[in-house]
Structure 1
Amino acid sequence: MRHSYACPLRWSDMDAFGHVNNTVYLRYLEEARIDFLALAARVADPEAFTGGTVVARHEIDYLRQLVHRADPVTVELWVVKLTAASVTFAYEIKDAAGGGGPYVRARTVVAPYNIKEGYPRRLSPAERSFLEGYFDDSHRG
């Protein structure tokens, strides 16, 4: 299963050439990840990821140019790898209506973190169970 997030495009996302600046895609991924971890995960378990998370790695393939428009893009997020203390998310940013292929494919390695104590921690059994419901390795690359 995949998590889907409707991400609005903002005029400030554009660079001098009229397309979404490469760094802005990281914010789109972050918004989808926050929607997933801070909203969807907490429906399943109110304590899920309340201590925080940290990004350990980003990997982005820019596939097509995205220009400003009124309609949001869809950011799909799914799990491709789980370890005891990290999760690897994959993403595609694409048009809500489909067609034309994705603008971006990306991956992010995230580690649960105890912000109060200042150290990484392991995934709880409830967090792991929630994440396993979003496992999908059907799209590689």
Structure 2
Amino acid sequence: MTVIEIPLRWGDMDAYGHINNVQIVRLMEEARVIVFGIPSGTGHRDGTNPKAHIDLRAGADDGVMTLIADHTVKYRRQLPYRGLPVRVEVGIEKVKGASVEIYYRFFDRDQVAVEATSTMVFVHQESGRPVRLTPRQRDALADL
């Protein structure tokens, strides 16, 4: 598990003063990029991934990209806008042949406000077919 903080924006707040449910999915994306790095095929081409805690592209062929196949979000309590960063725990729930299930926990102070998951699938960019995780990728995931 990795713990990060993500700044909240004024525009993330809805009319009730808490973070809008649509923005939670955007924050999930931001957390994935911070923890797992910039996805391939996005213009980041120098082979480095300086922000990633765990680079899931390491050991994968150049033609492999990651796609999100599924999200689940469970709201446990309101996440109020406080003008402070939100603490997020990010980790791996499951590792399968060609996919990983990522979990997120968003905290309001010390209480879990949102629990969520995303299924990230590794696919070959040209064929669109699933690509199995490499041993190097599995080793990187073992650290979470």
- Is this a same-fold pair by TM over 0.5? yes
One-letter amino acid of the structure 1 residue matched with residue 90 of structure 2: L
The offset of 1:22, in angstroms, is 0.5
Partner of 1:24: 23
Aligned pairs (5 A) from 1:40-119? 40-42=53-55, 46-47=58-59, 51-95=64-108, 98-99=109-110, 101-119=111-129
One-letter amino acid of the structure 2 residue matched with residue 114 of structure 1: H
Report % sequence identity. Answer: 35
1:82-131 deviations in whole A, cap 9, x for unaligned? 11101011110014xx52x1110111111113335543311121111111
> Are the aligned partners of 2:100 and 2:121 in contact in 1 as well (CA < 8 Å)?
yes
TM-score normalised per structure 2: 0.79
Partner of 1:139: none
TM-score normalised per structure 1: 0.80
The offset of 1:74, in angstroms, is 1.1
Equivalent pairs, count: 129
> Are the aligned partners of 1:28 and 1:75 in contact in 2 as well (CA < 8 Å)?
no
Please state if 1:124 is matched with 2:134. yes
One-letter amino acid of the structure 1 residue matched with residue 136 of structure 2: A
Q: Distance in 2 between matches of 1:18 and 1:49?
A: 45
One-letter amino acid of the structure 1 residue matched with residue 29 of structure 2: E
Segments of structure 2 that go 5 or more residues without pairing to the other structure are 38-51
Q: Distance in 2 between matches of 1:122 and 1:78?
A: 20
Segments of structure 1 that go 5 or more residues without pairing to the other structure are 135-141
Partner of 1:37: 36
Q: Distance in 1 between matches of 2:16 and 2:67?
A: 32
CA change 1:12–1:46 in 2 (3 A) is same
When the two chains are superposed, the root-mean-square deviation of aligned CA atoms in Å is 2.1
